[in-house]
Amino acid sequence: MPHENPTDALLAHFDRTRRDMPWRRTSDPYAIWVSEIMLQQTRVDAVIPYYERWMARFPSIEALAGADLDDVLVQWQGLGYYSRARNLHRAAMVVRERLGGRVPREAEELRRLPGVGEYTAGAVASIAFGRRVAAVDGNVRRVLSRLYDLERPRAADLRRLADDLVPAARPGDFNQALMELGATICTPRSPRCDTCPVYRWCRARQLGVQENRPRPKQKKRVPEEHVETAVIVREDGALLLVRRPEEGLLGGMWEPPGEHRPAAVRALIDGADPGPEMEPVVHVFSHKRVTYRPRIHHAVGASLPDGSGVAWVTGERLSGYALPVAQARIARRALRLLGGGLSVASHTGA
C-alpha cells in the first residue's frame, strides 16, 4: 500500500535500506556522540576505522576524561579538524566532573558542552535518547530545500521546518533517514529521483528544478598564507618539535617550529647553521590554504632541554607525538634527505 505521507515513506525506506555502521549497533550515547563528532566534515568509510580504534582506546566517558590530551590527539591523527578532538576531551571532563558521568539527554543541555553545536545536539538527543528534535546537516538542508522548493533557506527557518517534521515516534531514525537520503539518493548532483521514497511529495522535482535547490552559495576566495618552518636537527640526528598553544588551529599538536616559536627556540635557530631549503608543502584547510616552506637548520652544541612544549625526538618516539599531516610530511622528507633512520607515523586526511 502506498504511504500517505513523506515521513512514513521515508522511515519504511530507511528500514529496508539502512547502511550498517558500527555506531548504529549501539545505544550508548557516548559512542553515538563520538561518531557524530567524527562524521562532521568526514566520510563514513573514512571514519569507521578511527571510530573503532577510538572506542577500543577510550571505551567510556570516564576513559576519555582520564586520558592525556597527547594520547587523544594521537588517536585523532589524520582525521583533521583537531579542535573536534580537543573539545570532545574537554566535554568528557565536564560530563565526568559536573554531570556525574552522564551524557545530557536534552538538546539544550548538550549544546552547553564544548564542541557540541545545534546539529550534534539534535543528533545525539534524538538518536540516543529518542528526543523529538531535528538534526539539520548539509544533507538534510539539501533534501528539505528540494522537498519544499526552497531556493535559499535561512538556517533558522529550516530548523523550524525540520523540527515540525520530526515525528514523536522514532525521531532518531527519522533524522538518520533524512541524512541518509541526502547521502545516497538526493545527492548534490544528479539526484536519483526515480528511486526516491518521497518522490511524490517533492516540489522541486515536480518543477524540474531539483538540481538547483538549494541555490549554490557564492564561493569566497580562500586566503593564502605562507609559513616558514624550521627543521632543526641536532648532531645526534634528533629533530626538534614544539607544541602549539592549546587554543587555536591545530592546538596542542607537535610540529617542527612554524609560526609558534618560543624565545629559546628562536635563539637556537639564530645560532644554528642554516642548511638547504626543502620543497614546500601545501595544506588546504576549510578556511585557508597554507604553504609551508621548510628549511633545515643544523643545531650546533644545542643545549635546549626537553620539556615545557619542546621535545627532541628520534626514531620510534616520533610516532608517539601527534603531528598535523603537513608537518608530518615535512619531518618525513627531512629525515629522508638527511639519511636518518627516523620514522613518522603515516596518516592521511585534512
CB of 208 to ligand SF4, least distance (A): 10
Instruction: Tell me: does residue 153 bind ligand SF4 (CB under 6 A).
Output: no
Task: Please give the Cα distance from 231 to 276 (Å, whole number).
Answer: 10
Q: Does 11 bind ligand SF4 (CB under 6 A)?
A: no
Binding to ligand SF4 in span 124-143, by CB under 6 A: 143
Give the count of beta carbons closer than 10 Å to the beta carbon of residue 55: 19
Contact between 113 and ligand SF4 per CB under 6 A: no
CB of 9 to ligand SF4, least distance (A): 10
Q: Judge contact between 37 and 88, C-beta under 8 A.
A: yes
CB of 331 to ligand SF4, least distance (A): 45
State which residue, 186 or 302, has the beta carbon closest to ligand SF4.
186
Nearer to ligand SF4, 202 or 240 (CB): 202
Q: By CB under 6 A, name the one of 126, 139, 210, 229 that touches ligand SF4.
A: 210
Candidates 107, 139, 140; CA nearest to 124 is 107
Identified catalytic residue from 4, 36, 106, 259? 36
Q: Rule CB under 6 A: choose which of 177, 204, 272, 335 binds ligand SF4.
A: 204
For residue 284, which phi and psi values (nearest 5 degrees)?
-105, 115
Shortest reach from residue 47's CB to ligand SF4, in Å:
24
The torsion angles phi and psi of 9, rounded to 5 degrees, stand at: -65, -40
**DSSP for 144-177, written as a single string:** HHHHTT-SS--HHHHHHHHHHHS-SSSHHHHHHH
Q: How far is the CB of 213 from ligand SF4 (least distance, A)?
A: 7
**Of 48-56, 197-205, 231-239, 255-263, which segment contacts ligand SF4 by CB under 6 A?**
197-205
Closer of 109 and 149 to ligand SF4 (Cβ):
149
| Tally of CB atoms within 10 A around 306 | 12
What is the smallest separation between the CB atom of 21 and ligand SF4, expressed in angstroms? 22
In the list 39, 116, 196, 231, the residue contacting ligand SF4 (rule: CB under 6 A) is: 196
What does the block give as the cell for 143?
533534501
Tell me, yes or no, if 180 is annotated catalytic.
no
Q: Which helix (H) or strand (E) holds 127?
A: helix 118-129
Tell me which residue of 235, 284, 227 sits closest to 256, measured CA to CA: 227
Cβ neighbours for 252, distance < 8 A, ≥ 6 positions apart:
69, 70, 73, 82, 86, 243, 244, 245, 246, 322
Binding-site size for ligand SF4 (CB under 6 A) equals 14
Stretch of 9-17, 166-174, 204-212, 319-327 contacting ligand SF4, by CB under 6 A = 204-212
Min CB(210)–ligand SF4 separation in Å: 4
Site string for ligand SF4, 168-187 (x = CB under 6 A): -----------------xx-
Residue 104 or 191 with smaller CB distance to ligand SF4: 191
Write out the DSSP string of 5-41: SHHHHHHHHHHHHPPP-GGGG---HHHHHHHHHHHTT
Cell numbers of 166, please?
520530526
Binding range to ligand SF4, per CB under 6 A, among 107-115, 200-208, 231-239, 263-271:
200-208
Q: State how far the Cα of 17 lies from the Cα of 13, in Å rounded to an integer.
A: 6
**Nearest CA among 227, 260, 252, 290 for reference residue 75:** 252
The residues carrying an active-site annotation are 36
* Binding region for ligand SF4 (CB under 6 A): 143, 146-147, 185-186, 191, 193, 196, 198-199, 202, 204-205, 210
